[in-house]
Structure 1
Amino acid sequence: MTPTTPPPLPTARPLLDPAAEYRSWITERPLGRITLWGDLHPWLVTRHDDARAVLSDPRFSSENVRPGFPGLQPTTPPRTPGQLFAMDPPDHTRLRRMLIPEFTFRRVEQLRPAIGKITADLLDGLEARGSSADLVEHFTLPLPLLVICELLGVPYSDRKFIHRQAAAFATVSAGPEAMRAGWGALFGYLQELLAAKSRDPADDLLSRLATERVATGEATAAEAAGLLVQVLIAGHETTASMLSLGTIALLRHPGQLAALRADDTLVPGAVEELLRYLTIVHIGMRRVATEDVEVGGVTIRAGDGVVVALQAANRDPAVFAYPDTLDVTRAADRHLAFGHGPHHCLGQSLARAELQTALPMLFARFPALRLAKEPEEFAFTGRAVHGVEKLPVTW
């Protein structure tokens, strides 16, 4: 790398913190060029207010087929139907509206008893194992998988296939072919399930899409399958990582955990603080400018790519006092862990409900819970969502 070449996008990160480079970049170069590969040098946005501006501005496109788009791979992946993350209005708006009724606050509140029952059953299984276990295998991964399978109407017996393909799609380092194969396998699987549900519907999201959207011509079967792939991947991968890292964070900050145990009214705010503090989506939100736009006093030209570093924005000292400190009493409601603007996470209410339910129940059941290894020994998933492969604990 020559002295004039912009620095690379930071991807290596410690267990609980963003990449170290972001600490100085937020204040010293809040908006600057980076290098992804070859001669592609998109802008990197690190400041909170600039991140909100980019993510809510329709002049920044999410369409990954546009020239200059800073994709995850050097080659542009083929567009498949229903990929909301790679769409702009009006198609994005049309398809997103089909999912909104399934993830309203009221709908999620109706799911809380089921989430509590799933959590209790998994904790029973953990307790039956003795005094140690891998929390990823036996709790943090199966919990959101069970919840999302129940919501969608997907057989939980297929969970190993689902997680294997979802992990392949989310592992950027595996390369574009492996990522496409993972997506394609889930896409075909869900097309078959949609066809089956259209013949024999039940009370689940798959059936409602099949009978109310596809059968009426509002969406094609391929679009519906594409939507469901995203829900299935995002609906368990992100929450599983948050449960794992949230557990580690609280165990590493015993004073914060003690405060939660002493006052359960702190739980909703503590979950928001954990979302801010951990910010597990660590490869950035990708956009490309469709016309010249001024952001933070800098003109971003039409055709320039932009990477919004959510993990940096959520540690912006201009918005969060002592941003590198975990504080479960903090009002962290301005965090961007779920994104912002038209592409903000549809499933955020569901994720909150799972975290607010599972973490307190885990620590209540196992008051002596502790890590069985030093955090430095944990292996990271290496996927677009930051997390750990295993979480050995004892109690």
Structure 2
Amino acid sequence: MDRTTLLDPPTAYARLREESPVSRIAVWGGNTPWLVTRHEDARAVLADPRFSSENIRENFPGLQPTPPPRTPGQLFAMDPPDHTRLRRMLIPDFTFRRVEELRPVIRTLTDSLIDDLMAKEPSRADLVEHFTLPLPLQVICELLGVPYVDREFIHRQAAAFATVTDGPEAMRAGWAALFGYLSELLAAKTADPGDDLMSRLATDRVATGEATAAEAAGMLVQLLIAGHETTASMLSLGAVTLLTHPGQLTALRADPALVPGAVEELLRYLTVVHIGMRRIALEDVEVGGVTIRAGEGVVVSLQAANRDPRAFPDPDTFDITRDAQHHLSFGHGPHHCLGQSLARAELQIALPALFQRLPELRLAVPAEEFALHGRAIHGVSELLVTW
């Protein structure tokens, strides 16, 4: 479905949500999964163990006609008990307390990037290149123990894996390149560990036999990709949203207490994971009055659910005073985003700092002229601003 504006989901979702909230769609090769568009139904599907995330199952509604090769450690494509076993290994590095310890690092990186922006002459830049991409990429590299000097390679391969336009071979190549790269780093950390997540995986999990090296490398690939692609897009589109809603931006600048709620509203309003959460039924399940049969695929539209008026009154209005904490932008159930506290911290620190230190910040071209990058995470290729 095509968007008509940068910040809003395709208009067809609203019609489906009202007239046919659980409806058949066509994806490829005659595969006709069910599309779920209401908030209540979306939560039910994502929390129900009768729906599998294993993308190698026949008729799974993946992004490409050919299922990707099953790589160890792909948490997004796993079910319990293996999913539970591996996910538990990562939780200590993503607790609220651990993320709070990272806030000074995030602030320092944010201020350094803004310093570089302010030093530019003339006062014009691509915000994606100089702020919204390097910040989350540097943060996740710091957390994982990945050398930031390899950032161009990392982002290029991550973008290839996240493509929805370049075909399955590009996706496979991107994942394989990062898997090989991180496997080598993991081996090096085993011999010379540091104070980072990768070292802890190497010494506490792989060396003890709790996980294989391949499982650890697969988890690291997923963390590296998801840990910067999603937040980078949120920072970019969040900046556009605030700049195109000047009344909301003025209120945010005037009252820092509004920042946490504003971030939740941005997450709901933008819903950058716009391809849906994909599942397949393991048995017959009724959803929204419709029986989904065993072996049938399901696509849960997070962007439709987050604009459901039953859950969010006047949902198409951006309102930073709204209680939006029950949005589904981080998913729901056993696969809810492991790094959501980290993403929130980055957004809560970076966006206010950007607008406080660059009070004259504005778009250099109209928002409708920004080019989308065609990846599984909704976002723009560049964001030209001036100040």
- Note the alpha carbon deviations across 1:137-193, whole angstroms, 9 max, x for none: 000000001100100111000000000000000012110011000000000000000
Q: Is the 8 A contact 1:260 1:266 kept in 2?
A: yes
Match of residue 223 from structure 1: 215
* Distance apart, 1:12 and its partner CA: 4.2
1:48 matched to 2:39: yes
CA distance in 1, matches of 2:258, 2:5: 27
Aligned equivalent of 2:97: 106
1:295 pairs, out of 276, 287, 292, with 287
Alignment correspondent of 2:308: 316
Letter in 1 for 2:124: S
Structure 1 position 11, deviation (Å): 5.2
* TM-score (norm. length: structure 1): 0.97
Trace 1:161-172 onto structure 2 (pairs within 5 A).
Answer: 161-172=153-164
1:210 aligns with 2:202: yes
Runs of at least 5 residues in structure 2 that lack an aligned partner in the other structure: none
Unaligned runs of 5+ in 1: 1-9
Task: Name which of 72, 78, 96 aligns with 1:81.
Answer: 72
Within the alignment, does 1:37 sit opposite 2:31 as a pair? no
Do structure 1's residue 121 and structure 2's residue 112 form an aligned pair? Answer: yes
Following the alignment from structure 2 to structure 1, what is the Cα–Cα distance between the partners of residues 193 and 25?
49
Seen in structure 2, the aligned counterparts of structure 1 residues 11 and 76 have a Cα distance that, compared at 3 Å, is farther
Q: Please report how far the alpha carbon of residue 66 of structure 1 lies from its aligned counterpart in structure 2 after TM superposition.
A: 1.0
Alignment of 1:225-304 (within 5 A): 225-304=217-296
Name the amino acid aligned to 1:161.
Answer: F
Report Cα offsets for 1:249-308 as digits up to 9, x if no partner.
000000000010111000000000000000000110000000000111111000010000
Residue 366 of structure 1 aligns with an amino acid whose one-letter code is: L
Of 354, 365, 368, which aligns to 1:362? 354
Q: Deviations over 1:221-272 (max 9, x none)?
A: 0000000000000000000000000000000000000010111000000000
Q: Is the 8 A contact 1:11 1:283 kept in 2?
A: no
Q: Offset at 1:38?
A: 2.5
Aligned residues: 386
8 Å CA contact 1:11–1:282 kept in 2: the answer is: no
- Distance in structure 1 (CA, Å) of the matches to 2:318 and 2:3: 21
* Alpha-carbon offset, residue 37 of structure 1: 1.3
Matched, 1:373 2:365: yes
Aligned to 1:391: 383
Q: Which residue of 2 aligns with 1:200?
A: 192
Q: Which residue of 2 aligns with 1:142?
A: 134
SS at 1:173 equivalent: coil
Q: Whole-Å Cα distance in 2 between the matches of residues 159 and 12 of structure 1? A: 31
Deviation at 1:13, TM superposition (A): 5.6
For residues 156 and 75 of structure 1, the distance between their equivalents in structure 2, rounded to whole angstroms, comes to: 33
Match of 1:174 among 161, 166, 169: 166
Determine the C-alpha separation between the residues in 2 that align with 1:328 and 1:322.
13
**Over 6 Å off, 4+ runs:** none
Match of residue 57, structure 2, among 66, 77, 93 = 66
Identity between Structure 1 and Structure 2 (%) = 76
Alpha-carbon distance in 2 for matches of 1:223, 1:201: 18
Q: Structure 2: which amino acid aligns with 1:179?
A: M
- Letter of the 1:295 counterpart: V
CA shift in 2, pair 1:214/1:186, >3 Å: same
Mapped to 1, the partners of 2:275 and 2:322 lie a distance apart of 26
Which amino acid is the alignment partner of residue 211 of structure 1? T
Alignment correspondent of 1:133: 125
**CA RMSD of superposed structures (Å):** 0.7
Give 1:336's match in structure 2, choosing from 328, 350, 356: 328
Deviation readout 1:301-329 (Å, 9 max, x if unpaired): 00010000000000000110100000000
* Distance in 2 of aligned mates of 1:198 and 1:27: 54
| Aligned residue identity for 2:35 | L
Distance 2:127 2:309 in 1: 33
Task: Please tell me the residue identity of whatever aligns with 1:326.
Answer: F
| SS at 1:49 equivalent | helix
Query: Is the partner of 2:373 in helix, strand or coil?
Result: coil
Q: Residue 231 of structure 1: SS of its match in structure 2?
A: helix
